[in-house]
Structure 1
C-alpha cells in the first residue's frame, strides 16, 4: 500500500517554528505526500514553497475547539483561500452537536462548504470522535455528508485521543452512498495503524509521524 499518497503531512503544534515548517514542506515534496497541513499563519509560505509540485496546501479552521462563531470560521477560510490554500479542515461545533442542535451544526458546516466550494477548494469537517458517542459519530457524519463536505474527519489530535478503527468504520458506514469521504487523523504512528485505517474506509490520513509511518525514521 502506497501510504504516502494518503497522507496529509501535519504540523499543527503551537510552537512550530519556520525551520520546522520548512522541514515538513521538504519531507512532503521528497516523499510525495498528498498534503502539507499547517496552521493558518503558514499557509502563504507553504503555498509558495509547494508551487510546481504535486503536493497541496491545507490548513485548519476554528481549530482546535470548533467553538468560534460561523462568521469567524468564514473569515478564517476566506483569508486562507486568499493566501493560497487548497484544502481546509474545519472543526464542527461540538457543543451544539452534543446538545442535539443539529440545525446549528449543519448551518455552520454549510457556510464553510459554500465558501470553500465557491473557490474550488476541498472542505473537510472534524467531528472530534473522542467526545462523541457512537450514535453521535454516525449522526455527525450524516450531517457532514448532507452539508456537502468533501470529507468527514475523526479528530484534531488535541483532544483525549485520536482516531480509532471503530470510529472510521462508523463514519464510513454513515456516509456510504454519498460523495463524502473519511479522513482518519490523530494517533497514527505506524504503517500497520495507517493501513488499518485505510482498510476500515479512510481515504485520507492526517499524520504527524509521517516519516515513521512510511519507514524512513
Structure 2
C-alpha cells in the first residue's frame, strides 16, 4: 500500500523558522505526500516551495483554540487562499458549542464554507472535549451545510470512537485524523476503519517503515 498519499506532512510549532518550512516542503515533494500543513503565516512560502508539484498546501484556521471571532477567521481564510492554500482546517469555538449556541456555530460554518469556495474545508472535531450530543449536533450541521470533511482530534482515539463517528455521519463525511499515528501498523488499522487522511508529524518515519516492509 502506498501510504504516502494518505499523509498530510504537518508542522505547526510556535518557533518554526522559514528554513524549517522549506525542509518540510522538500520532504513532502520527495515523498509525494498529499499535502503539507503549516501555520497561516507560512502558506505563501510553502506554496512557492511546492510550485509545480502535486503536493497541496493546507493550514489551520483559528489555531490553536478556535476562539477568534468569525470575522478574523474569514480574514485568515481569504489570506491563506490568496497565498496558495487549497485545504482549510477550521477550529470552532468549543465554548459556543458547549453552551448550545448552535446558531453561532452554524453561522460561522456557513460563512467559512462560502469563503473557502471550491477549496477543501475540514471541520475539526475535538473528541476530547465534546459529549456525544455535542458531536452529533456538530456533525448534523456539517451534513446540513454539505461540508464533506471532518478531522478527528483526540490524544488516544479508539476503534470505538471512529465507529461511533461513522454512525453519526452515516458514512457521508470523509474522515481525517489529526496526530496519534506514529507507526505503520496503527496507520493501517485506521485506514481499514475508513480514515482517508492523516495530519501527522511522523510522515517520514511512517514512509520509511512502509518502504522497509515492502523491500524486505
What is the TM-score of this pair, normalised by structure 1? 0.89
Any idea what the Cα deviations from partners look like across 1:62-113, whole Å, max 9, x if unmatched? 1111111111110100010111111110102211111222221121111111
Q: Could you tell me how far apart the structure 1 residues matched to 2:32 and 2:61 are?
A: 24
Alignment correspondent of 1:140: 138
| Structure 2 unmatched ranges of 5 or more | none
Alignment correspondent of 1:167: 161
**RMSD of Structure 2 on Structure 1 (CA):** 1.8
Label 1:76 to 1:162 Cα distance change in 2 as closer, same or farther (>3 A): farther
Q: Could you tell me how far apart the structure 2 residues matched to 1:163 and 1:75 are?
A: 32
1:183 has 2:181 as partner: no
Any idea what the Cα deviations from partners look like across 1:120-178, whole Å, max 9, x if unmatched? 211111121111123322332222232222311112xxxx7264433332222222253
The correspondence of residues 1-217 of structure 1 with structure 2, limited to 5 A, is 1-117=1-117, 120-155=118-153, 161=155, 163-176=157-170, 178=172, 180-215=173-208
Structure 1 ranges of 4+ moved more than 6 A: none
CA contact (8 A) 1:141 1:174 kept: yes
Q: Could you tell me how far apart the structure 2 residues matched to 1:30 and 1:147 are?
A: 37
The alpha-carbon deviation at position 30 of structure 1 amounts to 0.7
CA contact (8 A) 1:154 1:167 kept: no
Q: Could you tell me how far apart the structure 2 residues matched to 1:215 and 1:136 are?
A: 38
Q: Could you tell me how far apart the structure 2 residues matched to 1:197 and 1:99 are?
A: 32
CA contact (8 A) 1:154 1:162 kept: no
For residue 54 of structure 2, give the secondary structure of its aligned residue in structure 1.
coil
Q: Could you tell me how far apart the structure 2 residues matched to 1:66 and 1:167 are?
A: 22
Q: Could you tell me how far apart the structure 1 residues matched to 2:68 and 2:156 are?
A: 22
What is the TM-score of this pair, normalised by structure 2? 0.90
| Structure 1 unmatched ranges of 5 or more | none
